[in-house]
Chains A and B, each alone.
Chain A
């Protein structure tokens, strides 16, 4: 690890000003991702601005008129997953968070930090290897290498990495908004769908946050599928492993007829992958396994797997079917 300066503050405007002043400074939240990357010499900030004293930890109802709830960016993953309001109204989020990492890590990890965790591509982590995300222009070692865990949707020649968060997959299905404080002190709200980006020619950019912007909260609009939602994560062991494929599904039902389906996938792209095609096909249809299969099939037909991850196409299809079956059965 390289030497760095450590600063903490309980004022978000101070934090932002400190960051803007030093182009090599980083925000520090739970540190479960950033510190690991610093130990590996992937991230090399020379100053850490600790955010954990900011009063941005609350989980609360949004002001009347804007149905929904707000989750503080500096609150811990564990608290969010176990909060009664989230368990009742957004069980999908709770399940997705609990499917990630381990209890110890979730106790440290913050909701904002989780959104900004970086890919787990092993070439990104190994500084002896080429990686356009870590070192733009050096090439992508994964494209023709060990890419079993990598993307099947939306990748580019420059980068085939996947975004690893489970929480964010649920946030995508829930149409969350990410609220950030800009350097000028004003707030801006970014839809989860526009928050993360595809790699294109700039894989070094994971998301659309601008330098200095600080995530203050995650806002969840009200929905009608709390009792008809499911999160399924397929992985190489039953706990403490990143997803091969995961699916968050919420279904609004009228009797056995689908009013709307909300499906997002993890482990398949550089951002949570919203399965819009499957959703469109399901709208107005009966909730039957046959219909789920048709929709899942249509979604997965768009996939472009790599040499070692062809299995993700069938796995993705099965997991969508499985998640929809579980969601429509209800709780």
Chain B
């Protein structure tokens, strides 16, 4: 992958790494503002009903308090402005437990927090829709067109006629994103101009949503977000806290800072919904799939719809003549679900890839063999050719590297002391797309020293966007990385796609690369000369003695891209140890092998993949948010109850990339790795647990009680 004298393909450390570890990177709340006031949100303690009385008098009199804002005195906002999850203080109606019902603004954070405790609220309660299990039988057709039933052949008949069948229900619980940096905003007004310092995965999206909700023009709102302490989808769409900070700042006529508490993160910024997935697989005796149905039931908010596309992997993973993908949904008095790492694919692959493992066991075929037998030549959902697909290579090379041959096919037969050892495999996929993005390159020359600034309203979630853009520009301009400055995370910069859905690297790097090509072309044209070997922009700046030059490129996906089916693919291998007496599980080894096109930076790419793996291990073993249906509140409400993996839960992690050159989805051949890293992980772990113990756990997370 690594080429001589090229920055792309080198395992370069993140260029902002030193800033981060020395605490100098400025996250949203790190922006100082003169005369800052502090806002604290307070929330409903019922799931459904109406506020009948709201007594804020004690809070208003409390020391340091500048304002208490509720539906009674909040300015009118545009509810259709593009923010997610409502809770904009526009009416006394309560739609979910923990809905924001007011903000206290005070001279200090402590004063605001204290005053919030002094508010007295009375409600008229309605019976809330809070019990998913009870509501499940009444699930409805979703409204979204992309969620209509997808039918190929006759899945039901083919299933019934199949020689070998698996039909099971797989459940995944509500999960929360919980980035280390809770959602926070600093709002500063200067006249009618508003600046919002706010971690945003989609800079321009945050700008337009905030402007539209506040009834402003987009030019009046500036989003600044150079660093984000993780988002995982929860900072993709923006939530009420963004504009409520602006509302508070306007009302007290001072800059205002608002940061959610960890507890508030459970019901303020979306969640991954609970998914009830039924998989039906029918196959011939020699393991050729005849039928695949993937029927998902989930919940959404009572006033708005979001569903994870759990059937996406099932659409494309295997050759199968008869297939049904369907969605049903239950509206609930629970905050709106939203995109969460590997949306639909991580949860959907748990169901599909567990079922494939069950089928392999029934057929007495190695699970890798079963997958190889059903490898599709083209995309079975639409007949399009693959731009590239390296599932076979991922499986074969992974098996070799992992020592798959040491796996004992019969569960429960590999024992070391009190520990049962098991191996599991599962595949995953995620679409590769390039989205419209623009970039400006500014070149300057002093003596023979050429420097470049790259400007793009991209965002860096901490994944390495800054770094890969510097690498791309370095190669595109003929400069060293030290001579490149990357400016991103500011809506005043040229508009760009978001860091969401694994589109970031492809969209941003192609925009920067196009800008580099364009600026070189323009410098060539300006020189009026013919060159034997195409010079670099740096060479031209020097040879033509140009002191400053800039250009902008507006990049789009290649026009032929949509004639192909373009996706990243992976194979995941897990080794687990399960204590036979206590049921505690440890993933001792994990290997992800990924075919994701060109890897711009193997170091940051590896971090992305193993980060996704750790998320997947958490999903498999420990992460779960529990609603108490009597009140609709979360009974799990802090990091003491919501168990993300700790260092001790994670064994040896390895990431391998398959060499893949694929210029179809975009010129740079970048497919994206942020999402695919989690896809297939939970199934690999669950399959390993089955191999270790003979217990098939179809209801995540696999906590010790389920293995006794």
Interface residues of chain A, those whose CB is within 8 Å of chain B, are 1-3, 40-41, 120, 122-123, 125-126, 128-129, 141, 145-146, 148, 232, 234-242, 244, 311-312, 314-315, 318-319, 321-322
Contact = CB atoms under 8 A, between A and B. Distances in A.
B536 to A, nearest CB: 51
Contact of B581 (A3, A311, A322): A322
B315 to A, nearest CB: 34
Q: Say whether chain B's binding surface is mostly helix, strand, loop, or mixed.
A: loop
Nearest to A40: B263
Contacts of B45: 128
Contacts of A240: 646, 648
Contact of A321 (B113, B581, B630): B581
Contacts of B647: 239
Interface in B621-650: 621-622, 626, 628, 630-631, 633, 635-638, 640-641, 643, 645-649
Q: Say whether chain A's binding surface is mostly helix, strand, loop, or mixed.
A: loop
Contact of A120 (B117, B583, B640): B640
B708 interface: yes
Top 3 A-B pairs, shortest CB-CB distance: A146-B635, A311-B705, A128-B45
Given A122-B636, A125-B638, A321-B581, A1 B649 contact: no
B621 A234 contact: no
A41 B117 contact: yes
A133 to B, nearest CB: 16
Contact of A126 (B63, B630, B633, B701): B633
A3 B114 contact: yes
Given A237-B621, A239-B649, 17 more contacts: A2-B117, A3-B114, A120-B640, A122-B637, A128-B45, A128-B631, A146-B628, A235-B704, A236-B622, A239-B646, A241-B640, A244-B704, A311-B708, A312-B705, A318-B582, A322-B581, A322-B582
A315 B708 contact: yes
13 contacts: A122-B637, A128-B631, A129-B631, A129-B633, A146-B635, A234-B584, A235-B584, A236-B704, A237-B646, A239-B646, A241-B640, A315-B708, A318-B708
B583 A234 contact: yes
Given A128-B633, A129-B633, A141-B628, A237 B640 contact: no
Q: Which of B582, B647, B708 has the most CB of A within 10 A?
A: B582
Interface of B: 45, 63, 110, 113-114, 117, 263, 418, 581-584, 586, 621-622, 626, 628, 630-631, 633, 635-638, 640-641, 643, 645-649, 701, 703-705, 708
A234 B582 contact: yes
Contacts of B63: 3
B635 A122 contact: yes
A232 B633 contact: no
B704 A315 contact: yes
Given A241-B643, A322-B418, A145 B630 contact: yes
Nearest to B636: A122
A40 B643 CA distance: 20
Nearest to B621: A237
Nearest to B635: A146
B708 A242 contact: no
Nearest to B43: A128
A137 B63 CA distance: 32
Given A1-B113, A125-B637, A244-B705, A319 B586 contact: no
Contacts of A235: 584, 704
B626 A146 contact: yes
B635 A123 contact: yes
A2 B114 contact: yes
A1 B705 contact: no
Contacts of A311: 705, 708
A247 B646 CA distance: 22
A1 to B, nearest CB: 6
B98 to A, nearest CB: 9
A123 B645 CA distance: 24
Contacts of B705: 148, 244, 311-312, 315
A145 B628 contact: yes
A238 B649 contact: yes
A199 B630 CA distance: 24
B502 to A, nearest CB: 28
Contacts of A234: 582-584, 704
Contact of B648 (A1, A146, A239, A318): A239
Given A123-B635, A129-B631, A244-B704, A319 B581 contact: yes
Nearest to B585: A238
A266 to B, nearest CB: 14
A29 to B, nearest CB: 19
Contacts of B638: 125
Contacts of A238: 584, 586, 646, 648-649
A311 B703 CA distance: 11
Contacts of B622: 236-237
B45 to A, nearest CB: 4
Contact of A319 (B113, B263, B582): B582
A235 to B, nearest CB: 7
Contact of A145 (B621, B635, B648, B701): B635
A2 B63 CA distance: 11
A120 B642 CA distance: 13
A302 B631 CA distance: 33
Contact of B582 (A40, A125, A146, A315): A315
Nearest to B644: A237
A145 B640 CA distance: 18
Nearest to B618: A237
Contacts of B637: 122, 125-126
Contacts of A141: 628, 630
A242 B640 contact: yes
Contacts of B703: 236
Nearest to A102: B646
Nearest to A2: B114
Contacts of B581: 318-319, 321-322
A101 to B, nearest CB: 10
Contacts of B263: 40
Contacts of A145: 628, 630, 635
Q: Which of B586, B621, B637, B641 has the most CB of A within 10 A?
A: B641
Contacts of B643: 236-237, 241
B267 to A, nearest CB: 12
A122 B581 CA distance: 28
Contacts of B626: 146
Q: Which of B263, B637, B705 has the most CB of A within 10 A?
A: B705
